[in-house]
């Protein structure tokens, strides 16, 4: 029995070491959210800024659409602006797709009718201080009815790529993508991208992403396995460098339904893959060496089941990939989830599974995902906090990773988290730490990164003036209950010392009952 218990404890701690501390930061809602806005259908994050699409918002008419800018001030995320098209109209669905890079945002409006019904358009907004202003409206040079230009968008630096799944140059709905370049305040079409072997109904442009001199375009055709194409820029020209296919691709896998690219890595969603049941879904990592792109890994959810649609949304940044599975049922039917994968050398492993803290049936959490530095934002367009399908988004932050936002680590000379004893424990454990005289809290999380309880630290017993000048030891007891004083289940938990807005250290503990 002792041997079995030791093996169980060891296995839990090994498992826990794979889970970084992705903390739920904030639930984001539109200040004027309403029924069926579908806020969160599209999301994108860059540094301290995030943009969230609400394609069915009615600001400029029924389903004209809008998008919202949120800003992180080091403590909280708050809504900075609501973006609408200057010429928005009914059924434009502005916000179908969004992307942000630095001070620029691009927003797709596939229902725009400038060049015929659903010819589509995209809008560029730029930031000056706290003001966001429409800088340009983009349309295809050969725009036509039902092209759906703006179905997908991505921006990186001075370049933007726009997908047009209905373009007919290679056959009916074969699809195309367009590259736009900024010079000063002027955006001009630089290239039209087509698949070298494109045919009717490929829907090339279903997904697009751009990073530096590389663009990736997905052709997630329902009738075929699906394909992706890598294009590279040379001067003002773009040429196809590679065609990517899944090594085990099969009909209806929808490989290419979602794409993301960062540096020498690309992640491609195949939400129709059947490895764990019909439409359980998967995603593939490709890596580049010189001019060759090679499949490096196939990602699936550790708990994947039929109709989860894992891979419906994907995003990659540095050594981390976020994958959405909007139809996962952990919090109810189609409540949704997302997964974080981490790369170690050439191996990718599942680091954690993310769920909405208030998840409910049909929220569709994971419909959209975007990761930047140590922050990931996840859209839940079915959330009903502001009415049925009004939508929401959630921000998770991993304080164990280098931040592109800010460094909020507490001064090590002023705080030190010691640990807890006993560990493992049954019922109660004592958490100890050093601190100068100052208000502090111990924040406890479960293995999913969800906050379980906040423990207020006791006042220092003794001379506070002396305590303020040197580190003094404190301790606080956790009795294994949550904020509602309900017992929590056995398992691994994490805790952090919070002093003001600063966080110091992360420790793990094991509760056994």
Q: How far apart are CA 153 and CA 121, in angstroms?
A: 10
Q: Are 242 and 230 in contact (CB under 8 A)?
A: yes
Q: How far apart are CA 101 and CA 462, in angstroms?
A: 52
Going by C-alpha positions, the residue among 177, 186, 250 that lies closest to residue 219 is 177
pLDDT for the residue 408: 34
pLDDT for the residue 495: 85
Interval 119-144 mean pLDDT? 97
pLDDT for the residue 439: 66
Q: Are 95 and 65 in contact (CB under 8 A)?
A: yes
Q: What is the mean pLDDT of the chain?
A: 87
The model's pLDDT over 277-316, given as tens digits with 9 standing for 90+, comes to 999 999 999 999 999 999 999 999 999 999 999 999 999 9
Going by C-alpha positions, the residue among 406, 371, 389, 496 that lies closest to residue 100 is 371
Q: Which domains does the chain have, with CATH numbers?
A: 20-398 (2.130.10.130), 415-511 (2.60.40.4070)
The model's pLDDT over 313-334, given as tens digits with 9 standing for 90+, comes to 999 998 999 999 999 999 999 9
Question: Tokens 């017992």 identify what position?
Answer: 487
Q: Is residue 345 exposed (0-12), middle (13-18) or buried (19+ Cβ within 10 Å)?
A: exposed
Residue 441's H or E segment, with its range, is: strand 441-446
How many whole angstroms from its chain centre is CA 223?
Answer: 28
The model's pLDDT over 181-212, given as tens digits with 9 standing for 90+, comes to 999 999 999 999 999 999 999 999 999 999 99
Position 428 confidence tier, pLDDT thresholds 50, 70, 90: confident
Going by C-alpha positions, the residue among 98, 96, 89 that lies closest to residue 110 is 96
Residue 232's H or E segment, with its range, is: strand 227-234
The model's pLDDT over 466-503, given as tens digits with 9 standing for 90+, comes to 444 444 667 788 999 998 888 888 777 888 887 766 66
> Sign of torsion, CA 28 33 34 36?
negative
210, β-bridge pairs: 215
Q: Are 124 and 132 in contact (CB under 8 A)?
A: no
Q: What are phi and psi of 138, to 5 degrees?
A: -105, 135
> Sign of torsion, CA 379 52 88 118?
negative
- Which pTM value belongs to this model? 0.76
> SS3 sequence, 364-423?
CEEEEEEEECCEEEEEECCCCECECCCEEEEEEEECCCCCCCCCCECCCCCEEEEEEECC
Q: How far apart are CA 137 and CA 187, in angstroms?
A: 9
The model's pLDDT over 373-394, given as tens digits with 9 standing for 90+, comes to 889 999 999 999 999 999 999 9
DSSP 139-160: --TT--TT--EEEEEEEETTEE
Q: Is residue 45 exposed (0-12), middle (13-18) or buried (19+ Cβ within 10 Å)?
A: buried
Neighbouring residues of 5: CB distance < 8 A, sequence distance ≥ 6 = none
The model's pLDDT over 30-65, given as tens digits with 9 standing for 90+, comes to 999 999 999 999 999 998 899 999 999 999 999 999
Percent of the chain with pLDDT over 90: 68
pLDDT for the residue 116: 96
Tell whether the model's pLDDT for residue 437 goes beyond 90. Answer: no
Q: Is residue 316 exposed (0-12), middle (13-18) or buried (19+ Cβ within 10 Å)?
A: buried
pLDDT for the residue 492: 72
Tell whether the model's pLDDT for residue 224 goes beyond 90. Answer: no
pLDDT for the residue 450: 73
Q: Are 68 and 55 in contact (CB under 8 A)?
A: no
Residue 469's H or E segment, with its range, is: helix 464-469
Percent of the chain with pLDDT over 70: 85
Q: What are phi and psi of 8, to 5 degrees?
A: -65, -45
Higher-pLDDT residue of 251, 427: 251
Helix (H, G, I), strand (E, B) or coil at 36: coil
Interval 241-265 mean pLDDT? 95
pLDDT for the residue 499: 72
pLDDT for the residue 300: 98
Helix (H, G, I), strand (E, B) or coil at 278: coil
Tell whether the model's pLDDT for residue 13 goes beyond 60. Answer: no
pLDDT for the residue 283: 98
pLDDT for the residue 465: 44
Question: Tokens 């074969």 identify what position?
Answer: 174
Tell whether the model's pLDDT for residue 11 goes beyond 50. Answer: no
Going by C-alpha positions, the residue among 429, 435, 480 that lies closest to residue 458 is 435
DSSP 8-class letter at 468: H
Could you tell me the two tokens for 249?
């691709």
Interval 4-10 mean pLDDT? 39
């Amino acid at each position: 029995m002792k041997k079995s218990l030791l093996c169980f404890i060891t296995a839990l701690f090994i498992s826990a070491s794979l889970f970084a501390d992705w903390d739920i930061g904030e639930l984001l809602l539109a200040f004027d959210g309403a029924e069926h806005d579908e806020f969160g259908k599209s999301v994108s994050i860059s540094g301290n800024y995030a943009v969230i699409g609400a394609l069915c918002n009615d600001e400029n008419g029924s389903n004209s659409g809008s998008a919202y800018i949120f800003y992180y001030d080091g403590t909280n995320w708050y809504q900075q602006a609501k973006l609408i098209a200057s010429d928005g109209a009914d059924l434009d669905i502005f916000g179908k797709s969004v992307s942000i890079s630095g001070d620029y945002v691009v927003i797709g409006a596939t229902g725009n009718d400038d060049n015929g019904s659903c010819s589509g358009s995209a809008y560029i907004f730029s930031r000056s201080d706290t003001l966001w202003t429409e800088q340009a409206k983009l349309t295809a040079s050969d725009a036509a009815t039902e092209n759906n230009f703006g179905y997908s968008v991505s921006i990186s630096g001075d370049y933007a790529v726009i997908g047009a799944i209905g373009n007919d140059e290679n056959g009916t709905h074969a699809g195309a993508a367009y590259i736009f370049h900024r010079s000063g305040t002027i955006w001009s079409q630089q290239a039209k991208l087509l698949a070298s072997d494109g045919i009717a109904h490929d829907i090339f442009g279903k997904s697009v992403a751009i990073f530096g001199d590389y663009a990736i375009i997905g052709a997630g055709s329902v009738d075929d396995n699906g394909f992706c194409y890598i294009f590279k820029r040379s001067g003002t020209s773009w040429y196809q460098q590679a065609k990517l296919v899944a090594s085990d691709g099969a009909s209806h896998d929808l490989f290419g339904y979602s794409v993301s690219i960062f540096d020498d890595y690309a992640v491609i969603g195949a939400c129709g893959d059947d490895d764990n049941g019909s439409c359980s879904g998967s995603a593939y990592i490709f890596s580049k060496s010189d001019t060759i792109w090679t499949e490096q890994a196939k990602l699936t959810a550790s708990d994947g089941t039929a109709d989860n649609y894992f891979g419906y949304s994907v995003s990659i940044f540095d050594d981390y990939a976020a994958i959405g599975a909007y139809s996962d049922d952990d919090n109810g039917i189609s409540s949704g989830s997302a997964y974080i994968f981490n790369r170690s050398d050439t191996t990718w492993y599942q680091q954690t599974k993310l769920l909405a803290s208030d998840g409910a049936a049909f929220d569709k959490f994971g419909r959209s995902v975007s990761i930047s530095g140590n922050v990931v934002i996840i859209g839940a367009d079915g959330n009903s906090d502001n009415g049925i399908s009004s939508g929401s988004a959630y921000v998770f932050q991993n304080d164990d990773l280098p931040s592109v936002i800010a460094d909020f680590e507490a001064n090590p000379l002023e705080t030190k988290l010691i640990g807890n004893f006993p560990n493992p424990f049954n019922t109660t454990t004592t958490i100890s730490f050093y601190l100068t005289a100052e208000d502090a809290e111990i924040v406890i999380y479960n293995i999913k990164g969800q906050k379980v309880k906040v423990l207020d630290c006791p006042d220092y017993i003794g001379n506070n003036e002396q305590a303020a000048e040197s580190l003094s030891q404190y301790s606080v007891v956790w009795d294994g209950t949550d904020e509602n004083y309900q017992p929590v289940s056995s398992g691994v938990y994490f805790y952090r010392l919070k002093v003001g807005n600063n966080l110091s250290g992360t420790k793990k503990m094991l509760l056994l009952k």
